[in-house]
């Protein structure tokens, strides 16, 4: 009997080692960009919705897939209360603000918890990537859930993702998880487009800059892992307010300073692929 001990690192390697993955492009899309954080509560869904709208304002066809099975945000952020139509084989995305949208939140009651094990999560992800009638998209933005679990692995191993943008706040407790996410995407050979420092600082009524979550941590992490640092997004109460109203700031207030930041990021993304 082989008494060799198997450590946690061996188990992780067995699950994630990129050997013979057959990655499939999502039908109806040119480029698929994942928005990831590895840490919850850092504004990833808000970023995903606003960057999708910013790309749309550049006359591009854009879809937004809410892949956060356990905590879908898209129904609230876009104020969508209807269920998608189906032809019996595939689901039709719901169009809002000119964006083709899909979320598990469209299929379940808002108060119903998703008490699903891994196989059910993987099945749902395959439905959203293989059985949705995405139409002629230049970009599909995928709002990933936090962590490095089944959803992330399914996308990284089976879906042809053209890049991932990692969102974080600058404090170390968030960056610890971000570093795990970077290592996962690198191991699975998914291109990291860069890191975003979200809620990086707050400008008070006195005009002074307050770095309430610390300063420079995301940029230092990008440098540590030799990744691009895309930029900063300050905290502004209007961002949360407009999200709660179901009309993200890029849509509701396109001339706002935060909206202009998103438009600059969208220009960078467009320049990489188109």
What are the residue ranges spanned by the domains of the chain? 24-273
Could you report the per-residue pLDDT of 217-248, keeping only the tens digit for each? 999 999 999 999 999 999 999 999 999 999 99
Q: Please, which pLDDT band fits residue 213 given cuts at 50, 70 and 90?
A: confident
Kindly state the tokens that stand for 70.
């356990």
**In 3-state terms, what secondary structure has residue 35?**
strand
**35 near 77, Cβ under 8 Å?**
no
Least confident of 8-12, 93-97, 158-162: 8-12
Could you report the per-residue pLDDT of 166-188, keeping only the tens digit for each? 999 888 888 988 999 999 999 98
Between 2 and 273, the more confident residue is 273
Q: Does the pLDDT of residue 79 top 60, yes or no?
A: yes
- How much is the pLDDT for 211? 85
Q: Please, which pLDDT band fits residue 259 given cuts at 50, 70 and 90?
A: very high
Could you report the per-residue pLDDT of 97-156, keeping only the tens digit for each? 999 999 988 987 665 655 666 677 778 788 888 899 999 999 999 998 877 677 778 777
Closest to 63 measured CA to CA, from 130, 154, 142: 142
Between 160 and 54, the more confident residue is 54
Q: What pTM did the predictor assign?
A: 0.88
Cα-to-chain-centroid distance, residue 208: 31
Domain spanning 24-273: which CATH class is it, in words?
alpha beta
For 225, phi then psi, to 5°, come to -100, 10
Kindly state the tokens that stand for 54.
């910013």
What's the CA gap between 61 and 100, in Å, rounded?
A: 8
**What's the average model confidence in pLDDT over 11-33?**
71
């Amino acid at each position: 009997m082989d008494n060799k001990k198997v450590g946690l690192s061996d188990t992780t390697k067995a699950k994630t080692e990129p050997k013979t993955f057959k990655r499939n492009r999502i039908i109806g899309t040119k480029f698929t960009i994942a928005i990831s954080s590895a840490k919850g509560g850092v504004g990833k869904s808000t970023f995903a919705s606003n960057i999708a709208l910013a790309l749309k304002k550049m006359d591009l066809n854009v879809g937004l897939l809410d892949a956060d099975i356990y905590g879908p945000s898209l129904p609230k952020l876009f104020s969508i209360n209807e269920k998608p139509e189906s032809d019996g084989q595939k689901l039709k995305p719901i169009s809002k603000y000119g964006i083709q949208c899909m979320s598990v939140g469209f299929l379940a009651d808002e108060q119903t918890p998703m008490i699903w094990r891994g196989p059910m999560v993987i099945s749902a992800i395959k439905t959203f990537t293989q059985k949705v009638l995405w139409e002629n998209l230049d970009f599909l933005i995928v709002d990933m859930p936090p962590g490095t679990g089944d959803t992330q692995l399914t996308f990284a191993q089976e879906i042809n993702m053209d890049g991932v943008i990692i969102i974080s706040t600058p404090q170390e407790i968030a960056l610890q998880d971000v570093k795990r996410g970077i290592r996962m995407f690198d191991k699975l050979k998914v291109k990291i487009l860069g890191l975003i420092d979200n809620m990086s600082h707050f400008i008070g009524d006195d005009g002074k800059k307050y770095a309430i979550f610390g300063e420079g941590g995301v940029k230092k992490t990008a440098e540590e892992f030799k990744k691009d640092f895309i930029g900063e997004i300050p905290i502004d109460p209007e961002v949360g307010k407009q999200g709660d109203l179901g009309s993200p700031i890029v849509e509701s207030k396109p001339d706002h300073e935060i909206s202009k930041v998103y438009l600059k990021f969208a220009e960078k993304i467009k320049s990489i692929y188109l």
